[in-house]
Amino acid sequence: MTTFDSYASKYRHLRMERRDGILQITLHSDGQTLRWGSGPHGEFGPAFRDIGADPDNKVIIMTGVGDAFIEAVDSSNVGKRLPTSEMSPRTWNQIYWNVKQLLMNLLEIEVPMIAAVNGPVSIHAELAVLCDIVLAC
């Protein structure tokens, strides 16, 4: 069984607080608006698995920080990427595996999820749209 204490501070790009079964997850990059990169890409799948496996979570609220939900791609977080035509099969396999885990684990969360979208979502809007309720703040 997964417990809140085992994952609450495990992920660099998710701040988590829970009270009375309501888990608020806040997407961020160093306390600022989330910039997409390899960090969030690799962390969110395992984080959603942990969240979904915790029986004490009754409702999930997902929100962001600042003026946008997800602002842009952080090239320093992604690292130097080759043009897509030059990426190795191993690199593509890792990208595919991460995104599959992210989406499947998000969809496997059985309690209601609310996306409180705090501003524009220029990258990966599906994170909010796949929630049960989407509120544009």
**Cβ within 8 Å of residue 112, ≥6 positions away:** 59, 60, 132, 133
Within 10 angstroms of residue 50's Cβ, the number of other Cβ atoms is 21
Options 17, 86, 108, 126, the catalytic residue: 126
| Residues 37 and 73 sit within 8 Å (Cβ to Cβ) | yes
Among this protein's residues, is 71 annotated catalytic?
no
Query: Among all residues, which ones are annotated catalytic?
Result: 126
